[in-house]
Structure 1
Amino acid sequence: MSGAGAPPSQPYDASGVKVAVVAASWHTQVMDGLVAGAERACAAYGIREPEVIRVPGTFELPVVAAALARAGYDAVVALGVVIRGGTPHFDYVCSAATDGLTQVSVVHAIPIGFGVLTCDNEQQALDRAGLEGSSEDKGWEATAAALDTARVVRGIRG
């Protein structure tokens, strides 16, 4: 199980953290589960209404994350899913999304919760989407990681 060994995350009052969730639109059931997990995590951390923005696909996540960073958000949660097919498309999209989101995070010094599922098949994505019966909730996990990192960054900035 890939979730084994995950660090514990204890929600804290992050109500002053400005958070945006940017989510791809492909694979509606999986994406709706990821977004719901992100919203549940935000609520647990005291964030009542995170900005939720939908984009066409996972490839588009970095450009919107960069715009959100420039707009003054303290943390961005990037959610997407790419399912392997019979062409190299999977490799290109996964690499572009990962590299792009990393670049946004480093250049803007903003936490990006990485909730991009890179799966071999749809069942793997469903198992990680935080749906009823899923073994993992990557929307929650990505949000918790972004918020926990935002707290560290705020502590450094003073």
Structure 2
Amino acid sequence: MSGRGAPTLTVENCQDLRVAVVAAQWHEKIMDALLDGSLRALRELGIVEPTVLRVPGSFELPVVVGTVAKRGYDAVVALGVVIRGGTPHFEYVCQGVTAGLTQVTVDTGVPVGFGVLTCDDEQQALDRAGLEGSTEDKGHEAAVAAVATAMTLRTVSEPWR
């Protein structure tokens, strides 16, 4: 699993952040677990009313995340899952989603927590979804990373003119 070496993030005084979670709907059991982990992380950080939006699939994440980022949110969490099949579709979707979410972050300056699982099979996704017996909780991790980054950005002063 890829969880080895992950940092322990400590985030404080972030209750006033405006956070949105945008989650795909494909692979319902996995997506529900990712969303639960993300919302649990936000509650633990004191963010009790995040905006939750659902999109059909992972490919639709960048357009909605980009729109939300431009509407005054301090951080956005993007959740999805793409499982490899027998065609090149997997590579195209994964590349498009990753590039799209990266572009949103760069263009808007709003941190995007990357909670998109890109797995070879359903078991790998289940192992990362934060379900009972899972080895990782990527929804939780993505939410904490987005909020931690937003708090880091708060420490950056405006450029001197």
TM-score in terms of structure 2 length: 0.96
% identity of equivalent residues: 62
* Offset from partner CA, 1:30-62 (integer Å, 9 cap, x none): 000000000010001100011110000000000
Task: Check conservation: 1:23, 1:53, Cα contact below 8 A.
Answer: yes
For 1:12 and 1:83, the matched residues in 2 are separated by 35
- Three-state SS of the structure 2 residue aligned to 1:134 is coil
For 2:77 and 2:22, the matched residues in 1 are separated by 6
1:84-95 equivalences in 2 (<5 Å): 84-95=84-95
Determine the structure 2 residue equivalent to 1:101.
101
Structure 2 unaligned blocks of 5 or more = none
Matched pairs, number: 158
Q: Which has the larger radius of gyration?
A: 2
Residue 22 (structure 2) pairs with residue 22 (structure 1): yes
Deviation at 1:13, TM superposition (A): 2.8
Determine the structure 1 residue equivalent to 2:145.
145
1:2-41 equivalences in 2 (<5 Å): 2-41=2-41
For 1:28 and 1:13, the matched residues in 2 are separated by 33
| Deviation >6 Å, runs of 4+ | none
For 2:157 and 2:39, the matched residues in 1 are separated by 27
For 2:36 and 2:106, the matched residues in 1 are separated by 27
Deviation at 1:157, TM superposition (A): 3.9
Indicate the RMSD between aligned Cα atoms, in angstroms: 0.9
Determine the structure 1 residue equivalent to 2:129.
129
Task: Check conservation: 1:20, 1:77, Cα contact below 8 A.
Answer: yes
